């Protein structure tokens, strides 16, 4: 007994080590989503075992059925003749006394179901939670908004935007996975439950459309039905002020469920409302996106995300240039780095091929076990927030030789002291479904910020390395400076967060655009003010 407890314990420890997610935050890191594939692989194997056992069981039932039916067609045609044989009489009595009983009361079906359920329960810790479903649905709606994607196209597995009345591909995926009525119902329901009727109307309309097309057939794996979708859609229309559609959808619902008292009441209410104030004129309609706290920068942010890497052009500003850069450092003499000055205010530089594929893989792999939901500063504390969807890990230079090597290279290129605590540990970030980081500053903007915990001043500069490429989305957008930098595998970006007088540079407001397709990984090195006294001179000029 003791022994088996022990085995169980170590087994559960092992699972935790392999898949660090079990707290319901799978959607915040694509690595975790990928790991979920192996969980479903196991479930598929369990289901196959179940089907095999159930098929064997049914084969037995069929064999018994065939045996008894044969006897009846062959032997008992004339009851008199057969009953004359005592063996025939005996077997009939035996069958009726015990064989039928054994077949009818067999526990095998339950045992098979029970075995399937307990196999499933073994995987339960690694299954996505409700929070993951909601987070993934919100990720889809975020992509819909930021990239102005048409819901009707998304439902068909396409990423399209309507331009001049025509749907245009934003990105053509290698595999397009169409959504079902039930898939759309769940996205719509997540919006509905957050009282976000702008999105719920759009997704539930697609859901209703698909459920109608499927002919209302009941499918065991579905969470919703046509009626559920109609019910939620009618209320969403009502909440957005579209009373005439709320009424017609409710009437359709009544057709399926004529005795539903609640719907009957709603129909009456909608009819009364329509009599009192007839439908709004055509010009007045149209759903409005819910407002956000950072509306001021939202439009610029989204425009910068949509126009993959809109940059100032070199020919427009002759002070922007490209060169091979060694920073006068002997370590870089033989292998100068291709430098591209992207912006002077704020000062932003791109270093091409900063990291090798092998180094990037080393960093990602070393970070796997340490990935945790990314936090943002909330006063003096750190908290998770919807405006930052990713997981991150902190790597000391002792974690892997590559970490130390990168520190050294960053130091050579920037001429800055990046040793802890003058530089923070390397932060490795993996984005999730529609993962993004809304406009923010890297430097502390309040004296109580956790950035000051290191006691080495504010974050004077940021060095960000792209560890992967993505197929679409995920650019780094500088909001006030009005340019964005697409994800470029192996490249790194450097910028000063502070003016030389120590004041934060407002122009560094930047964001990580939502990842449309791909697995985005970056590594951040934040360099602090202290330790740079002789390397980065101070100045009282607020312009510098």
CB-based contacts of 321: which residues, under 8 Å, 6+ apart?
314, 340, 341
For ligand NAG, which residue has the nearest CB? 285
SS3 content of the chain, % helix, strand, coil (to 5): 50, 15, 35
Element (H, E) at 334: none
Nearer to ligand NAG, 225 or 306 (CB): 306
Kindly provide the residue ranges of all beta strands, DSSP E only, lying in 57-127, ordered along the sequence: none
Task: Give least dist CB 543 to ligand NAG, A.
Answer: 20
Q: Is the dihedral of CA 402, 403, 407, 410 positive or negative?
A: positive
Nearer to ligand NAG, 197 or 521 (CB): 197
Contact residues for ligand NAG, defined by CB under 6 A: 205, 242, 245, 279-280, 285, 310, 482
CA distances to 88, 92, 95, 153, 343 from 78, rounded to whole Å, are 13, 15, 19, 68, 101
Nearer to ligand NAG, 3 or 315 (CB): 315
In this structure, the chain runs to a length of 544
Nearer to ligand NAG, 253 or 399 (CB): 253
Nearer to ligand NAG, 24 or 279 (CB): 279
- 181-193 helix and 130-146 helix, angle to the nearest 10 degrees: 90
Q: Is the dihedral of CA 452, 456, 462, 463 positive or negative?
A: negative
Nearer to ligand NAG, 129 or 209 (CB): 209
Q: In what order do the strands lie in the sheet with 426-431?
A: 322-325, 337-343, 348-352, 492-496, 459-466, 521-528, 426-431, 390-395, 372-373
Nearer to ligand NAG, 83 or 280 (CB): 280
Task: Give least dist CB 473 to ligand NAG, A.
Answer: 18
Task: Give least dist CB 305 to ligand NAG, A.
Answer: 13
Query: Residue 513 and residue 490: Cα distance in Å, rounded?
Result: 18
Two tokens at 493?
């970006």
Task: Give least dist CB 206 to ligand NAG, A.
Answer: 11
Peptide bond into 421 cis (omega under 30): yes
Instruction: Report the chain's terminal Cα–Cα distance, integer Å.
Output: 72
Task: Give least dist CB 103 to ligand NAG, A.
Answer: 55
Task: Give least dist CB 199 to ligand NAG, A.
Answer: 13
Task: Give least dist CB 478 to ligand NAG, A.
Answer: 11
528, 283, 504, 542: which is closest to 414 by C-alpha?
528
Task: Give least dist CB 493 to ligand NAG, A.
Answer: 18
Task: Give least dist CB 279 to ligand NAG, A.
Answer: 6
Task: Give least dist CB 283 to ligand NAG, A.
Answer: 10
Block residue for tokens 């015990």: 98
Nearer to ligand NAG, 244 or 327 (CB): 244
Two tokens at 172?
């053509």
Nearer to ligand NAG, 208 or 412 (CB): 208
Task: Give least dist CB 185 to ligand NAG, A.
Answer: 16
CA distances to 147, 148, 300 from 163, rounded to whole Å, are 12, 10, 19
Nearer to ligand NAG, 241 or 370 (CB): 241
Nearer to ligand NAG, 240 or 374 (CB): 240
DSSP letter for each residue of 401-417: HHHHHHHHHHHHHH---
Two tokens at 252?
């359709």
């Amino acid at each position: 007994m003791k022994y088996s407890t022990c085995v169980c314990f170590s087994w559960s420890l092992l699972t935790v080590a392999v898949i660090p997610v079990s707290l319901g935050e799978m959607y915040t890191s694509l690595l975790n989503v990928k790991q979920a594939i192996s969980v479903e692989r196991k479930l598929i194997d369990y289901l196959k075992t179940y089907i095999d056992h159930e098929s064997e069981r049914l084969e037995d039932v069929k064999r018994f059925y065939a045996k008894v039916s044969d006897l009846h067609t062959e032997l008992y045609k004339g009851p008199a003749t057969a009953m004359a044989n005592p063996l025939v009489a005996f077997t009939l009595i035996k069958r009726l006394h015990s064989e039928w009983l054994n077949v009818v009361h067999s526990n095998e079906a339950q045992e098979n179901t029970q075995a399937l359920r307990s196999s499933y329960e073994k995987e339960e810790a690694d299954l996505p939670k409700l929070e993951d479903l909601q987070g993934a649905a919100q990720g889809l709606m975020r992509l819909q908004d930021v990239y102005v994607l048409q819901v009707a196209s998304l439902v068909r597995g396409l990423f399209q935007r309507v331009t001049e009345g025509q749907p245009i591909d934003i990105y053509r995926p290698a595999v397009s996975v169409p959504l079902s009525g039930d898939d759309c119902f769940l996205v719509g329901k997540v919006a509905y439950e957050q009282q976000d009727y702008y999105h719920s109307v759009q997704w539930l309309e697609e859901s209703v459309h698909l459920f109608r097309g499927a002919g209302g057939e009941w499918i065991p794996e579905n969470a919703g039905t046509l009626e559920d979708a109609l019910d939620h859609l009618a209320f969403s229309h009502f909440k957005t002020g579209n009373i005439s559609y709320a009424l017609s959808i409710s009437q359709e619902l009544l057709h399926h469920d004529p005795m539903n008292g609640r719907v009957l009441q709603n129909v009456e209410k909608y009819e009364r409302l329509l009599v009192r104030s007839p439908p709004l004129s055509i010009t007045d309609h149209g759903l409005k996106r819910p407002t956000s706290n950072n509306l001021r920068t939202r439009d610029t942010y989204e425009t910068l995300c949509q126009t993959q890497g809109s940059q100032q052009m070199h020919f427009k500003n002759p002070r922007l240039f490209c060169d091979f850069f060694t920073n006068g450092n002997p370590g870089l003499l033989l292998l100068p780095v291709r430098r591209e000055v992207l912006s002077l205010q704020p000062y932003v530089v791109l270093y091409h091929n900063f990291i090798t594929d092998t180094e990037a893989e080393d960093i990602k792999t070393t970070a796997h076990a340490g990935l945790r939901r990314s936090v943002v500063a909330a006063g003096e504390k750190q908290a998770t927030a919807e405006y930052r969807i990713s997981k991150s890990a902190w790597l000391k230079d002792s974690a892997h030789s590559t970490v130390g090597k990168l520190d050294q290279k960053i130091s050579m290129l920037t001429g800055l002291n990046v040793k802890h605590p003058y530089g923070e540990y390397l932060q490795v970030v993996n984005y999730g479904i529609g993962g993004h980081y809304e406009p923010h500053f890297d430097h502390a903007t309040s004296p109580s910020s956790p950035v000051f915990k290191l006691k080495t001043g504010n974050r004077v500069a940021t060095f960000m390395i792209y560890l992967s490429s993505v197929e679409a989305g995920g650019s780094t957008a500088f909001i006030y400076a009005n340019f964005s930098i697409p994800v470029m595998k192996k490249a790194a970006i450097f910028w000063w967060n502070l003016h030389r007088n120590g004041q934060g540079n407002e122009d560094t407001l930047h964001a990580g655009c939502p990842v449309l397709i791909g697995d985005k990984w970056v590594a951040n090195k934040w360099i602090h003010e202290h330790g740079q006294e002789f390397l980065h001179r101070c100045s009282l000029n607020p312009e510098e």
